[in-house]
A and B are shown apart, each in its own frame.
Chain A
Amino acid sequence: MSAEHRPHPTPPQYWRIAAFLAAVTALEVAMFYIDRELELGFLNTAVLVTLSAVKFLVVVGWFMHVRFERPMISRFFTAGFVLACSLYLVVLAALGVVAIRG
């Protein structure tokens, strides 16, 4: 079944998605306080970035309907996102803000 023929979620499904997003946000805040106590360092960064990416993908996929749209739309969107991330990652690495290990 092509993406554009997938049925869109129903209102109860949208509510469940929102509850999931709220739960992930609560988990993020909990991680922030756990890190204050235990100083998890890189693990905290990895977990928070992963949780944030999950929320990002859920909103883009289900609320913005990218999962149900023509592939061209997701290609446009992904291209802009990847271009921006790559560009600024290189800039921040060049300025010594982030470390890229080869």
Chain B
Amino acid sequence: MSDLAHDQVVAHHDEHESTGIESRKLGMWVFLSSEFLFFGALISNYLLYSNRAGFDGIYPAEIYDIPFTSVSSFVLLMSSLTMVLAHHALSRDDQNTARTWLFATAALGSVFLGGQVFEFTEFVVEHDMTLSTNPAASAFYLLTGFHGTHVAIGVVMLLSLWGISRRQGGLSFRQGLNLELVGLYWHFVDIIWIVIFTVVYLLSSPPG
């Protein structure tokens, strides 16, 4: 039996009997659904402290660089485009194009992460706002830091798939499902940033 045929048989056995949805895919959707609670807690924590008066030190909303963060948001949005193009190319068995878009997605994710490192460095060095400056700063770093960690995990997964594809000359049927799952995770990270960009950067203001 060829590798591809074997993969298809294995994938068929993996399919959940009652739902008709591949169990790993269903698991990823349930996981992403539960992630709303995780990020919801961090966003609520930020809203609770971001404009509460009486803390010492600078508030995050006083020092946001909106043009810079807007460019970062644009980069992450475009990485969702390259991700979906990689998935589309693989669904047509165009392995080279899929690999190119996969790498482009990882590269855009890395640019976003670089921007976040630059932003954090600016806040610490230029404005002396550290994790322990006040609860508003802590909430900001906790929320955006955890989002950044999710992006970093996504970049590692994307580069792993890219490396496997490069070594094997393409992704098999089963590995193709992995790309779909990583894609779902990546788009989820993007939609969380859509919320963070609006709630944290565009709508929040310092007290007074």
Contacts and interface: CB of A to CB of B under 8 A. Distances in A.
Interface of A: 8, 10-11, 14-15, 17-18, 21-22, 25, 28-29, 31-32, 44-45, 48-49, 51-52, 55-56, 59-60, 62-64, 70, 72-73, 76-77, 79-81, 83-85, 87-88, 91-92, 95, 97-98
B77 interface: yes
Contacts, number: 118
Contact of B29 (A22, A76, A83): A76
B44 A88 contact: yes
B77 A14 contact: no
Interface of A, helix, strand, loop or mixed by DSSP:
helix
Contacts of B194: 52, 55-56, 59
B186 to A, nearest CB: 9
B20 A77 contact: no
A59 B33 contact: no
Contacts of A79: 33
Contacts of B91: 8
Given A52-B198, A84-B36, A97 B47 contact: yes
A22 B77 CA distance: 8
Interface string B76-87: 011011011100
